[in-house]
């Protein structure tokens, strides 16, 4: 979805190694990492924030290599996953910000087009999450009710 509504053409990025080996220099055990993840989640951090904190502050490059489970799986087992997925929440927050901008700037046609793109992405992502049972089948994106989730 990254290239869908942007002018970007390239695929330049870093790649992870094909056969990653478990780092020998890490001093944390898998149980300690799970406890850290639980503690950070209870502080209100999102999954991506937890991953960055573990990488930057604790020197844990990859949770899956050390615990053999993804960060989302660990959060799910501890019942700490949010009710809505993180990427869907980010898109809904962006839609709220653009709507607030449009209230102040009614003639901004670029913002109207951006809001259409954002809402299209939200609906497409919601359809996917319903299919994989991460959202209830009766969940529906309602632009007026989004402020409840984002506050």
Mean pLDDT of 28-37: 95
Helix locations, the chain, DSSP H: 30-42, 47-58, 63-67, 71-77, 86-104, 109-131, 146-150
Binned at pLDDT 50, 70 and 90, residue 6 comes out as: confident
pLDDT over 70 at 1, yes or no: no
Whole-structure pTM value? 0.80
Identify the CATH class of 86-150.
mainly alpha
Interatomic CA distance for residues 57 and 41, integer angstroms = 15
CB 93: neighbour CB atoms within 10 A? Answer: 16
Tell me whether residue 78 is exposed, middle or buried, using C-beta atoms within 10 angstroms of its C-beta: 0 to 12, 13 to 18, 19 or more. Answer: middle
Question: Crossing angle for the helix pair 47-58 and 30-42, nearest 10 degrees?
Answer: 130
Mean pLDDT of 71-76: 94
pLDDT tens string 84-137: 999 999 999 999 999 999 999 999 999 999 999 999 999 999 999 999 999 999
Buried b (16+ CB within 10 A) or exposed e, 45-73: eebeebbebbeeeeebebbeebbebebee
């Amino acid at each position: 979805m990254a290239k869908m509504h942007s002018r970007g053409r390239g695929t330049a990025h870093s790649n992870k190694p094909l056969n990653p080996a478990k780092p020998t220099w890490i001093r944390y055990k898998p149980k300690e990492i799970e406890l850290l993840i639980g503690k950070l989640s209870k502080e209100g951090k999102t999954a991506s924030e937890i991953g960055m904190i573990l990488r930057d502050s604790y020197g844990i490059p990859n949770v899956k290599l050390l615990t053999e489970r993804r960060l989302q799986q660990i959060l799910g087992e501890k019942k700490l996953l949010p009710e809505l997925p993180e990427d869907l929440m980010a898109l809904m927050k962006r839609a709220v910000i653009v709507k607030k901008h449009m209230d102040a700037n009614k003639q901004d046609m670029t913002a109207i087009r951006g809001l259409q793109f954002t809402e299209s992405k939200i609906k497409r992502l919601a359809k996917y999450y319903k299919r994989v049972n991460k959202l209830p089948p009766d969940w529906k994106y309602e632009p007026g009710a989004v402020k409840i989730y984002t506050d």
